[in-house]
Structure 1
Amino acid sequence: MAEHLYELLSPHLPSTEANLSKDPPTIQYLNRLPTLSLQALQTTEPQSLAQSAHSNLLSLQALSNRSHKSFITSADSLSNLHSSIANLKRQAQELRDGIPKLDEEAVRFSSKYSRAAENATLEQRKKVMRLSRNVDRISDILELPTLLATTVSSAAANSGNTGTSFSTTYSAALDLYAHIKRLQTLYPDSPLVNDVAAQAEDAMKDMTSNLITALRAQNLRLAAGMRTVGWLRRVAPELDAAIGEGGASNGGGALGATFLICRLANLVSTLEALDPLRELADQETQRRTRGSDQKSGTGSWTAGHQTEKYLKRYIEIFREQSFAVVSLYKNIFTPDQSETDATAPGLRGIDARTKTAQSSQTDRRLDPFQCLPPALATFPTHLVQLLTGTLRTYLPNIQDKTARESLLTQVLYCAASLGRLGGDFSMILTELGDTGDEGTEGFASEWEEVMRKHRALAGRLEQLTGANPTSPTGSSKGTLQATSLAAS
């Protein structure tokens, strides 16, 4: 029925609508028309169609107002659909052509970075990853030389303090250095650890210099000296190496000699503080020599008071400092009995060195420095040379016999004080009168007179102390006690 109606109505329909004959809504509407009456077709159907058209128009307007952007986008996409399909086809072709090449690269990558075989790239990557994981530890290791140098500098700045902070700072520096050396032992082939160890060695050299400088300090006490020497033994063990026969201990080795040199430098600097008095004594020496050349007593020097002041102060400092140096050395380095016997600069030191030389003739062929005498064996001799040289130069300026005897007595007490440590040089002073220098002709007789008076005083002191003069042992002990008491 619908087909017959469509054939009747097709001449009156537009061409666009004629193409919609197969449209389901069109067929449905044509099937509905025969069911309507003629009156309905003439009256209500046109109104219903107009109302439906108006409702559809409003719906289209609302839809276009609400979704116009989507319409525009869809229209654009629809217009570009042809070119998009062409591009998609081309890209699909390229992807299909690239799959074999991608497969080849994947196979090559798998074979190159396989864990089954050794690969330098993988090893390098492992090292980089390991470095990334241990960057904090490496940073701590790199900071060790800076921390050590800072600790050493802080200890040097606080070296004048007598508290525990000075000791704690140096102990912390030594602990850091020991930790670095332990790292070097664990990782001997690591360039980083070797570089850190080299920087630590430089810091330890500075610390060694600071400790050696500390040994030259004024009024060095036994505790500070032992502490400083102990640190030097840890920092520079080569200084404490044995130099004696067969590797035996020889008075502290080079460390003992360094200690004596530092204390000698302190003694010399202390004596140099007497330069104003020495200059006055030199002026009196010049006046004495001019007066001796002119053979005239008028206008020449007669007193020598400035020389007396200089020598008195010089002997006081020499006595105090020389006794302190030798005493500190003996207490710090604790030499054995053979070295104690060798400390006397006269006969015992020569005998000990002779025995050492005879017993090590074979070792001398290998290393001649193995037979060097202990540092303390020759040190008192050098001290005595300083004192005798000063006495030989300035003692002739003093013409007052009482003043000369007072100075010689002071020198005798100094010899007795040093003699308590094995360095008595009283007999060496008798040789000053045999040098032929002007003004020292009667020095030997004056020295003998002083010695005679001193022995008489020692005899009286022996009686006071209750010693038995008939016993040789008691006499020698009493003489030592009297000498020590008089020297004090």
Structure 2
Amino acid sequence: MDDSLYELLTPHLASTSPTTTLSRPRAPEQDATTSRYLNRLTTLSLESLATTETQSLAQSSHSTLLSLQALSNRSHKVFITSADNLSNLRTSIPELTRESRRLQAAIPKLDEEAVQFSTKYSRTAENVALTRRKKAMQLARNVDRLSDILELPTLLSTAVSAAAASGTAGASSSTTYSSALDLYTHIKRLQTLYPDSPLVKDVAVQAEDAMKEMTTNLITSLRAQNLRLAAAMRTVGWLRRVAPELENLHSEGENGSSEGALGALFLTCRLANLVSTLEALDPLRELADQETQRRTRNADKQGGQGQQTERFLKRYIEIFREQSFAIVSLYKNIFIPDQSEPDLATAGLRGLDARAKMASSRQSRPGDPLQCLPSALSTFPMHLVQLLTDTLRTYLPNIQNKTTRESLLTQVLYCAASLGRLGGDFSMILTELTDTEDENEEDSIVYEWEEVMRKHRALAGRLEQLTGGNSTAGSPGGTLRSASPVH
């Protein structure tokens, strides 16, 4: 019936005014809305169709139009975009087809590359690229630690330079040198932990250069003027830590105490300081040389000669006495602290037994050219005395005044007694001042020296009787009294 009614109404729908925008409805079998409306028409009466249906349709049309307008106002951008996409749909679909085919063709190549990447960076096999990547990542994670390690040589050099600038006597230098040694110890520990690391090896080489500079500064500080015991002990202690190879050299000190090469180094530095101090007397020495030239040229033996030589020798003996006592005293306090009154004269006797023991160990060290060196202090006083006797032998004949000569010889006697308190009395050595060039004059000097020694022995004996003492050890008379008289 819906189809019949639709056919009946079709001519009227086709005759609609051309100005209308309504299109022809579709057949009921094609549109459910049309079918429902035709079924509704069959339920209405003729009067309703003639009167109310037209108004109902107009009202529904107007309501639908308002809804469409509201929808267009709200969603006009979506409609425009949909229209544009719809217009591009003809070209988009073929392009999508081409791209999908291209992707389908690239899938085997992508799978091949994925398999190759998985094989190349597999953790189950040893891979150079993967190892290099791991090292790079580890380097990135530890960049702060590496930066700290690279700064160690700079910090060490700065500490050494700061300590050298402040000297060894101050507390700041002690702290700075201690910090430098702690840094060097830390670097050596890193070298032990990572022996194959090129970075640590490079840092260790730079640290060794800084330690060489520190060793040079410490050795230079041992030549300083007025070196005190505390500063000397600190410096030697730092040298033992910085250059342990100096202490490991085969050397046998007094009482079997090993001092290595540090003892000889210390005495050499202090001897250099003594020589430089004595060189400050070069102006007086030049005046004394002029008097020597006049004496040898004119053979003038008259009194009143040698005033400049007297000034030179007096100052020379004063410096020699002070410095020689200080050098030996510092050495004993630093390297032989367990001996209260060692005697240098018996050092050789004690060394004989030590040499006998060391001779038995030579077969175990056949390639060592420095086997069993004696203590440096056993020969050092002889070198000091040689400096003094050479000077006396050269310049003492310039002084013709007997009183002046005896005064200088008395000063030398006190110098010998001062060094004798440490076991280095050289008063008897001065009796060997005989020179073949002017034998009579030198014999006169020796005779005067013997007279000075006799006078002091007599004075020491009277002082001992007055004080009632049983010993005069440590005094010039006590030292001289132990020596046999010279005839």
TM-score (norm 2): 0.82
How far did 1:208 drift?
1.4
2-side partners of 1:288 and 1:185: how far apart? 65
Q: Which residue in 1 is equivalent to 2:293? A: 289
Q: Is residue 422 from structure 1 mapped to residue 423 from structure 2 by the alignment?
A: yes
1:227 to 234, 239, 262: 234
How far did 1:264 drift?
0.9
1-side partners of 2:476 and 2:173: how far apart? 42
Q: Is residue 190 from structure 1 mapped to residue 190 from structure 2 by the alignment?
A: no
Q: Which residue in 1 is equivalent to 2:26? A: 20
Code of the residue aligned with 1:172 in structure 2: it is S
Code of the residue aligned with 1:24 in structure 2: it is A
User: What are the equivalent positions in structure 2 for 1:241-252 lying under 5 Å apart?
Assistant: 241-244=248-251, 252=259
User: What are the equivalent positions in structure 2 for 1:24-39 lying under 5 Å apart?
Assistant: 24-39=32-47
2-side partners of 1:251 and 1:315: how far apart? 33
How far did 1:485 drift?
8.7
2-side partners of 1:287 and 1:314: how far apart? 17
1-side partners of 2:462 and 2:218: how far apart? 48
Q: Which residue in 1 is equivalent to 2:116? A: 108
Code of the residue aligned with 1:222 in structure 2: it is L
Which digits, 9 at most, give the CA deviation of each residue in 1:274-293, with x for residues without a partner? 34xxx245235425634763
Which digits, 9 at most, give the CA deviation of each residue in 1:433-470, with x for residues without a partner? 42425975632222222222222222222323435xxx
Change (3 A) 1:250 1:244: farther
How far did 1:336 drift?
9.7
2-side partners of 1:437 and 1:20: how far apart? 159
1:415–1:425 Cα contact (<8 Å) kept:
yes
1-side partners of 2:244 and 2:221: how far apart? 18
The 10-residue stretch of structure 1 (319-328 or 450-459) with the greater mean CA deviation from structure 2: 450-459
Q: Which residue in 1 is equivalent to 2:399? A: 398
Which digits, 9 at most, give the CA deviation of each residue in 1:251-305, with x for residues without a partner? 6221111100111122122223334xxx2452354256347635789xx994533
How far did 1:98 drift?
3.1
Change (3 A) 1:176 1:263: same
The 10-residue stretch of structure 1 (384-393 or 233-242) with the greater mean CA deviation from structure 2: 384-393
1:226–1:332 Cα contact (<8 Å) kept:
yes
How far did 1:73 drift?
0.0
Q: Which residue in 1 is equivalent to 2:330? A: 328
Change (3 A) 1:123 1:372: same
Which digits, 9 at most, give the CA deviation of each residue in 1:89-134, with x for residues without a partner? 2233233333333333333333443333333333333434444444
Q: Which residue in 2 is equivalent to 1:382? A: 383
2:251–2:259 Cα contact (<8 Å) kept:
no
2-side partners of 1:358 and 1:272: how far apart? 43
1-side partners of 2:347 and 2:163: how far apart? 42
Q: Is residue 11 from structure 1 mapped to residue 20 from structure 2 by the alignment?
A: no
Change (3 A) 1:100 1:76: same
1:281–1:394 Cα contact (<8 Å) kept:
no
Q: Is residue 66 from structure 1 mapped to residue 74 from structure 2 by the alignment?
A: yes
Q: Which residue in 2 is equivalent to 1:471? A: none
How far did 1:409 drift?
0.3
Change (3 A) 1:214 1:291: closer
Which digits, 9 at most, give the CA deviation of each residue in 1:60-109, with x for residues without a partner? 33322222111110001111122222222223323333333333333333
Code of the residue aligned with 1:8 in structure 2: it is L
Change (3 A) 1:463 1:482: farther
Q: Is residue 483 from structure 1 mapped to residue 477 from structure 2 by the alignment?
A: yes
2:160–2:177 Cα contact (<8 Å) kept:
yes
Which digits, 9 at most, give the CA deviation of each residue in 1:396-424, with x for residues without a partner? 33333212211110001111221232322
Q: How many residues align?
A: 468
Q: CA RMSD in A?
A: 3.8
The 10-residue stretch of structure 1 (402-411 or 381-390) with the greater mean CA deviation from structure 2: 381-390
1-side partners of 2:273 and 2:40: how far apart? 135
How far did 1:236 drift?
0.8
- Which structure's residues are more often helix, by fraction? 1
Q: Which residue in 2 is equivalent to 1:267? A: 274
Q: Is residue 149 from structure 1 mapped to residue 165 from structure 2 by the alignment?
A: no
2-side partners of 1:291 and 1:328: how far apart? 41
How far did 1:308 drift?
2.2
Q: Which residue in 1 is equivalent to 2:19? A: none
How far did 1:20 drift?
1.8
Report the identity percentage: 68
2:463 to 449, 454, 461: 461
The 10-residue stretch of structure 1 (376-385 or 315-324) with the greater mean CA deviation from structure 2: 376-385
Q: Which residue in 1 is equivalent to 2:437? A: 436
Consecutive unaligned residues of structure 1, counting only runs of 5 or more, are 468-473
1-side partners of 2:14 and 2:295: how far apart? 160
Change (3 A) 1:36 1:242: closer
Q: Which residue in 2 is equivalent to 1:121? A: 129
